Structure 1
């Protein structure tokens, strides 16, 4: 990989390590330390995600207008400030307000980092996005393990560790990201949708939205591991340190199983669409296992299955978004993808909390398996309009010859 991508990968790992000190423990802290219900916990996480969606859309547009460096610096200053204040003031109402700040700042950063990765290595195809995905999960592995360890002593240490990691990322971005600015394309001052490619660009945007409909479902299911499942394991008597190990397994697999995934894709999965299909089937298997899980070993099996599924799905979506994006809109398209993912993280805890409170965990897991069928449909449909246009163009060229 180019040096510029390596810098972004390191930055992503540090950034997500900081975030992962906190997010797996949010529901546990709100429910068990602050004494609020699962539904209230879901609403708080929903508020965090709403601010993340707003940040995603703003961050993606800022990337296209002012470049990645300034956008990332703005986001990290907001998150770093919120995290350090949270280390001091962490009663319920303080917690809610500062969680909104963390969501907004993180939302600004993520699409800018993904768009920058695609821009500095345009010939890399899916590789820069896969590298950023792996870096994210290195951060998840380290952050979740360290966060669980710190939480076993005092939750205040989790908040402080969160702030220190964001400060480290701030220093890295300040000294090493600025020179990447020149490599990032800026948005055109002319509205792309008013040019000759208007119809094609609208089709591309529609394709992105259809694809992201299925992506939303995947995140609603996935985020249960950070919300309802975390509490479910506690109710079964599984210690917090063991729950954190699940995320360590997840991150370690994503790093060390990449050769297996690469070989499988090269031999049997020859398109990004097929890659998503495979991942969806694996996701469904993970939640079927979860529906029967009542001991820690069963949760390990389900996490292993889930991790294989996400290694197929998660890198494919931003890669497709980058391929669909018109010139000067890379940040905007990545902002849409990240906002949809954040939307899933917003809706998921509330949906899961209500389902778990009303019907129990088993019904929740079976409902999620059924919802994955929607993702199959959106994956099948998203590029049909684009394919039809390609066929029409080939017919015109044949007639002309």
Structure 2
């Protein structure tokens, strides 16, 4: 049911972030001894995942009586102008989200953090989602999807901009806490709002298009972050000010989206 979708999408995120919380710490520890062993351990975990999915996950589900077209294309999505405005904001916000992995780790390394400390930063991010995502969703239910998404975008911006002033692990940890609050607000709502805006018989198409846009922006984001670090490493405010501007711009775009 639609009222339960933010909760359902949040449960999926909690499961993924539990692994994300544990993985970086383990990876940081193993990398002290061997980078090759780090990747081999990742390979073994993927094999285990395949077996778990094959043998434990049921493919059966409840049947739904909807008229589904055999041939669909993303072109149909562009007829929904309000959704395209929302997608534009999502693309820009995802450019900000995509700085979490490569850009943040490279910058933190340049400030003297070692692999284990960087791993701890990602563990903070993951464990916060695991323990607080459900609480955040209750807050979203009280303020509404649109306000929750805008607030999440702004918190994302504040968190990334805080890295301008980060010089040690504690400073970086504060920035991660702030951006994770934004993540917990915004990320589940992107899928929830997409699902709500989509016609019932095209929900899969719309969510697929959302995934395509997010994947595209996550592919572009590391390039942008790399260019910013190469050009402005000695002027952090230009790096993180630019990144933070993505969140500000996306929040302005989301204000234009018509959504109840």
Question: TM-score, structure 1 length as denominator?
Answer: 0.58
Distance 1:296 1:375, change over 3 A: same
The aligned residue for residue 350 of structure 1 is 223
Say which of 237, 253, 259 aligns to 2:128: 253
Distance 1:283 1:297, change over 3 A: same
- Tell me which stretches of 4 or more aligned residues in structure 1 moved more than 6 Å: 184-187
The whole-number CA distance in structure 1 between the counterparts of 2:85 and 2:107 is: 33
The whole-number CA distance in structure 1 between the counterparts of 2:138 and 2:197 is: 26
Cα root mean square deviation, aligned: 2.6
Say which of 190, 194, 198 aligns to 1:321: 194
Say which of 237, 247, 250 aligns to 1:372: 247
The aligned residue for residue 125 of structure 1 is 5
| Pairwise CA distance, 1:218 | 2.0
Is this contact kept in 1: 2:154–2:248, CA < 8 A? no
| Pairwise CA distance, 1:286 | 0.9
Distance 1:173 1:362, change over 3 A: same
The whole-number CA distance in structure 2 between the counterparts of 1:260 and 1:124 is: 14
**Any stretches of 5+ residues in structure 1 without a counterpart?**
1-120, 194-198, 388-401
Question: TM-score, structure 2 length as denominator?
Answer: 0.87
The aligned residue for residue 236 of structure 1 is 111
Question: SS of the residue aligned with 2:200?
Answer: coil
Greater Cα shift, 147-156 or 346-355:
147-156
Distance 1:186 1:148, change over 3 A: farther
The aligned residue for residue 215 of structure 1 is 90
The whole-number CA distance in structure 2 between the counterparts of 1:125 and 1:319 is: 6
Is this contact kept in 1: 2:30–2:37, CA < 8 A? yes
The aligned residue for residue 257 of structure 2 is 382
Is this contact kept in 1: 2:6–2:137, CA < 8 A? no
Say which of 177, 189, 193 aligns to 2:57: 177
Distance 1:184 1:239, change over 3 A: farther
The whole-number CA distance in structure 2 between the counterparts of 1:220 and 1:153 is: 33
Q: Which structure has the greater CA radius of gyration?
A: 1
The whole-number CA distance in structure 2 between the counterparts of 1:218 and 1:225 is: 12
**Any stretches of 5+ residues in structure 2 without a counterpart?**
none
2:27 is equivalent to residue 147 of structure 1:
yes
2:210 is equivalent to residue 330 of structure 1:
no
Is this contact kept in 2: 1:218–1:375, CA < 8 A? yes
| Pairwise CA distance, 1:164 | 1.8
The whole-number CA distance in structure 1 between the counterparts of 2:29 and 2:65 is: 42
Task: Kindly tell me the number of residue pairs found equivalent between the two proteins.
Answer: 256
Listed one character per residue, the Cα deviations across residues 157-184 of structure 1 (whole Å, up to 9, x for unaligned) are 2222222222222112212334425557
Is this contact kept in 1: 2:2–2:196, CA < 8 A? no
Distance 1:173 1:242, change over 3 A: same
The aligned residue for residue 68 of structure 2 is 188
Distance 1:373 1:246, change over 3 A: same
Distance 1:122 1:370, change over 3 A: closer
The whole-number CA distance in structure 1 between the counterparts of 2:12 and 2:50 is: 18
